[in-house]
């Protein structure tokens, strides 16, 4: 616990004491607020930050905001929006007010995330080998065998180190009482870590004096940690592996991230056309001829990896890649077939999966979930479409989702038809009153208002399991919106995990 003897005095929005102008009119509005207690007092772990912000004038903040915007534009910190008539590439919106997580909260989250990725890897190994969990009736076989990303071709295939999910991004939220919950697991090609790194870089330039005084843990080791994970899974006998990132190309929504990670790890970024398979070995075309590749951090879904095995119309993958993988000549991260674990229907069973393999209760609970393929659940979903959030099992980025309370009658009718036609592909959850965080408002940059947020920490599984101390805090910038995805109008904040603090 941090000593508070040299901390600034408590600050209370509800008292008549000095109030930073930025917080004039700030109202938690009955939501769980990350910065303020229910009585208006500042949470202890925010006090040093707030004390510092009290000294900043509006011109100071304007200057810092412009500096960050210019840095992001210069660095090309962008994302792509599919199907947007205004253009595809945008600078990722960033909010200057950081989110802070004290040490004890982070230790709880870290333990829960390590527990979760450990259980999911055991689950994937099992369903691609003995399938004990199916035979024991813990998870009904129907749900696994009908999963879109279950790869029957890889049953009894041994992946390096028995690790399937090397990189995972698990989305966390806090509900009305402040309890952290898992919203979903992203176990295929999770995006967002480059924004974690860029957000931190921007904040360190802009508020360079704050990090040491507040006691913020560094996130800078992530590229080196990721490279260690990738080198760890190199084929047997390869002591100095060549590692590359395989990207779909510059029109992919996460291309900035692919290029950024490659640069920071000091490895090549390649597209499918840059690779070729010769005598079961994957090789990279270079100006000096073909060069063997041993490990591929692929940012392409299974379906597009190898046109000779999966989708024949794929121009993104490499013909023969799967054959090389099966022959043990090249390793892939994440392994083929991990998509089963981030099927939103499988999410429902994760607490059972943790109990089955680890004999433990989940440290971080799931959000209550209904399965449309279960008769009783489906009836409830159809009767309460206007109150629930309905999600497609294999969509991401806020696509394929119905926000019941904000939906029109036509949208609910459309989802009713879709659910009845294909119930296996839908789940539903109650609307969670997401926690809020003070956020600068676009139409009034000199004021702060509460905006809903979530958190995507990144977990690496190699020789050991590590969690980057922080993660991507996504924020719904539109007033009242619960959708934080960048493709749906969301932005991000820097996430500060403290060395100490309560």
Under the banding of pLDDT at 50, 70 and 90, the label for residue 12 is: low
pLDDT tens string 147-181: 999 999 999 999 999 999 999 999 999 999 999 99
Mean pLDDT of the chain: 89
Please tell me the least confidently modeled range out of 301-315, 367-381, 471-485.
Answer: 471-485
Domain residue extents for the chain: 371-430
Percentage of the chain modeled with pLDDT above 90: 72
The per-residue pLDDT for 7 is 44
Q: Tell me the mean pLDDT in the region 425-446.
A: 88
For helices 193-206 and 255-265, the axis angle rounded to 10 degrees is 70
How many other CB atoms are found less than 10 A from the CB of residue 359? 7
Residues 6+ apart with CB under 8 A from 243: 227, 230, 231, 234, 265, 267, 293, 294, 295, 296, 297
One CATH from 3.10.580.10, 3.40.640.10, 3.30.830.10, 3.30.1490.270 for 371-430: 3.30.1490.270
pLDDT tens string 252-288: 888 999 999 999 999 999 999 999 999 999 999 999 9
Q: Tell me the mean pLDDT in the region 195-224.
A: 93
Q: Tell me the mean pLDDT in the region 176-203.
A: 94
Indicate whether 9 pLDDT > 50. no
Q: CB of 292 within 8 A of CB of 283?
A: yes
The per-residue pLDDT for 253 is 82
Task: Note the helical H segments in 164-291.
Answer: 193-206, 210-214, 222-232, 255-265
- pLDDT, greater one: 461 or 61: 461
Indicate whether 23 pLDDT > 70. yes
Which 3 state secondary structure label does DSSP give 255?
helix
Please tell me the least confidently modeled range out of 21-25, 143-147, 310-314.
Answer: 21-25
CA separation for the pair 168, 328 (Å, rounded): 23
The per-residue pLDDT for 10 is 44
Prediction pTM value: 0.91
The per-residue pLDDT for 73 is 80
How many other CB atoms are found less than 10 A from the CB of residue 289? 8
């Amino acid at each position: 616990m941090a000593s508070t003897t040299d901390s600034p005095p408590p600050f209370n929005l509800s008292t008549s004491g000095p109030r930073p102008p930025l917080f004039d009119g700030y109202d938690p509005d009955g939501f769980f607020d990350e910065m303020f207690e229910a009585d208006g007092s500042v949470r202890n772990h925010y006090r040093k930050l707030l004390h510092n912000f009290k000294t900043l004038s509006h011109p100071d903040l304007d200057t810092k905001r412009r500096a960050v915007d210019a840095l992001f534009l210069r660095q090309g910190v962008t994302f792509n929006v599919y199907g947007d008539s205004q253009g595809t590439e945008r600078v990722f919106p960033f909010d200057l007010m950081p989110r802070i997580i004290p040490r004890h909260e982070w230790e709880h989250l870290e333990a829960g995330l390590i527990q979760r990725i450990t259980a999911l890897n055991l689950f994937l190994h099992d369903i691609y080998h003995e399938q004990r969990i199916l035979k024991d009736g813990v998870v009904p076989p129907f749900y696994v065998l009908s999963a879109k990303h279950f790869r029957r071709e890889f049953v009894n295939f041994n992946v390096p180190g028995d690790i399937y999910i090397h990189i995972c991004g698990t989305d966390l939220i806090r509900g009305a009482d402040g309890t952290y919950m898992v919203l979903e697991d992203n176990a295929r090609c999770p995006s967002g870590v480059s924004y974690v790194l860029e957000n931190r870089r921007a904040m360190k330039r802009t508020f360079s004096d704050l990090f040491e005084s507040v006691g913020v843990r560094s996130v800078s080791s992530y590229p080196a940690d990721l490279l260690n994970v990738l080198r760890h899974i190199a084929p047997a006998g390869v002591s100095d592996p060549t590692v590359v990132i395989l990207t779909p190309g510059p029109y992919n929504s996460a291309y900035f991230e692919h290029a950024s990670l490659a640069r920071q790890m000091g490895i090549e970024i390649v597209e499918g056309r840059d690779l070729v398979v010769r005598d079961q070995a994957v090789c990279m075309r270079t100006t000096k001829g073909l060069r063997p590749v041993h490990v591929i951090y692929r940012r392409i879904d299974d379906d597009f990896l190898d046109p000779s095995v999966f989708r024949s119309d794929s121009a993104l993958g490499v013909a023969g890649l799967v054959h090389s993988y099966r022959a043990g000549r090249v390793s892939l991260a994440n392994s083929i077939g991990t998509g089963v674990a981030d099927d939103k229907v499988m999410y429902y069973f994760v607490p059972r999966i943790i109990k089955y393999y680890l004999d433990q209760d989940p440290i971080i609970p799931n959000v209550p979930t209904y399965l449309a393929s279960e008769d009783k659940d489906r009836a409830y979903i159809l009767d309460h479409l206007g109150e629930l959030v309905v999600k497609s099992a294999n969509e991401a980025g806020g696509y394929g989702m119905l926000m019941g309370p904000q939906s029109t009658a036509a949208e609910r009718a459309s989802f009713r038809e879709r659910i009845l036609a294909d119930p296996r592909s839908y789940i539903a959850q109650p609307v969670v009153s997401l926690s809020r965080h003070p956020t600068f408002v676009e139409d009034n940059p000199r004021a702060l208002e509460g905006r809903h947020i979530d958190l995507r920490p990144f977990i690496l599984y190699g020789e050991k399991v590590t969690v980057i101390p922080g993660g991507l805090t996504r924020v719904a910038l539109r007033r009242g919106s619960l959708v934080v995805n960048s493709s749906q109008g969301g932005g991000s904040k820097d996430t500060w995990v403290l060395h100490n603090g309560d």
